[in-house]
Amino acid sequence: MKTTKQENSTDLVLWLAFASVYVLWGSTYLALRFVLESMPPFLMAAFRFLSAGTIMLLLARIGKHAWPSAKEMKNSALVGFLLLVVGNGGVVWAEQYINSGITALLITIEPVWVVLLLWMRSNEHKPSPVVWIGIFLGIAGMLVLIGPSSIGEVEQLNPWGVLALLISSLSWAIGSVFALRMQLPSSSSMNTCFQMLSAGFMFLLISLGRAEWNGFELSSITMHSWLGFLYLLIFGSLIGYTSYGYIVKKAPPTSVSTYAYVNPVIAVFLGWWLGNERVGTQTILAALLLVSAVVLILTKPDWKLNFTIKKIRS
């Protein structure tokens, strides 16, 4: 049977969307490291999400998307707090002390949290033996990564940075599970923009509370940081999320889930290639264990997670 031009065009768009999510979301960790060279972390996050949220809101209104109810906006703000303020904010803070590749690997533990949280909600989601193997591999990968540096070539990790990333991934998992049963805006664009806008305002309050404005001057921002900020705004928040929303609708859940174990590999490679970050035996072993864990957890056919959880990555 001959394929039509429309089918070929759809396939091409789908491949481009997958490439965007694989590469763009994996590369945001290194872009964030460049941003933090000369920008205050929470002030930067405030402007990033306020800008991205405003653009998303304008596009949603141009597309005549339905305006959400007060309850839907409140729920979006709560999910935005868990995913972006605590989840993404933890990554932003931790990357001041931990390199981008290691950060991406530590965040990979998130599906383990999701599995355990869903099981706590209902015995219907009790992990299968294969998923349990994935959970144990994930824990083993974490222990290898944060273990004594003498077993490999990883520098001693900042314990507060590690703790921040563990809390970050747990908060992201809690927000994702909550989002499954919350009444959120029917328009994914509206849902996203209100999550971003509410998070942006919360980051602004955090920044003011930390007095990040004191002594800060726009002239001190390096070109590296400006380019990194624009990259996060355009490719991470706007194009990356739009591509993810497209593949969720067009591709099987098992295919969609592959981004979760491609992103950390991309992040580690780019950190080594462009960021001069050390990648030794310890990092590679931890990466193999963590990626294997995510593969087992997310591609198990009877596992009901199936990425109905729509997440906004860094």
pLDDT at 251 over 90: no
Distances in whole angstroms, Cα of residue 119 to Cα of each of 108, 124, 132, 191, 292? 19, 7, 12, 26, 21
SS3 313: coil
Distance, in Å, from the CA atom of 44 to the CA atom of 207, rounded to the nearest integer, reads 9
Question: Is residue 191 classed exposed, middle or buried when 0-12, 13-18 and 19+ CB atoms within 10 A define those classes?
Answer: buried
C-beta of residue 176 within 8 angstroms of C-beta of residue 309: yes
- What is the model's pLDDT at position 311? 40
**Radius of gyration of the chain measured on its C-alpha atoms:** 19
pLDDT digits (tens, 9 = 90+) for 84-100: 999 999 999 999 999 99
Task: Give the pLDDT band (50/70/90) at residue 70.
Answer: very high
Q: Is residue 242 part of a domain?
A: yes
Tally of structural domains, the chain: 1
Q: Is residue 201 part of a domain?
A: yes
pLDDT digits (tens, 9 = 90+) for 112-159: 887 888 788 777 777 888 888 888 998 898 888 887 654 444 557 888
Q: Is residue 240 part of a domain?
A: yes
Distance, in Å, from the CA atom of 83 to the CA atom of 93, rounded to the nearest integer, reads 14
Domain interval for residue 113: 11-298
Q: Is residue 151 part of a domain?
A: yes
What number is the average pLDDT over the span 10-32? 85
Q: Is residue 313 part of a domain?
A: no
Q: Is residue 306 part of a domain?
A: no
Q: Full-prediction pTM beyond 0.75?
A: yes
C-beta of residue 201 within 8 angstroms of C-beta of residue 89: no
Task: Give the pLDDT band (50/70/90) at residue 4.
Answer: low
- 211 Ramachandran zone, left/alpha/beta (phi>0; psi -120 to 50): left
Q: Is residue 111 part of a domain?
A: yes
Q: Is residue 137 part of a domain?
A: yes
Torsion angle, CA of 226/228/234/235, rounded to 10 degrees?
170
C-beta of residue 259 within 8 angstroms of C-beta of residue 22: yes
Give the CA angle between residues 80, 40, 155 to the nearest 5°.
95
Max mean pLDDT among 8-22, 52-66, 133-147 falls in 52-66
End-to-end Cα spacing for the chain: 42
Distance, in Å, from the CA atom of 199 to the CA atom of 51, rounded to the nearest integer, reads 11
Torsion angle, CA of 179/184/188/189, rounded to 10 degrees?
-120
Torsion angle, CA of 29/35/40/44, rounded to 10 degrees?
-80
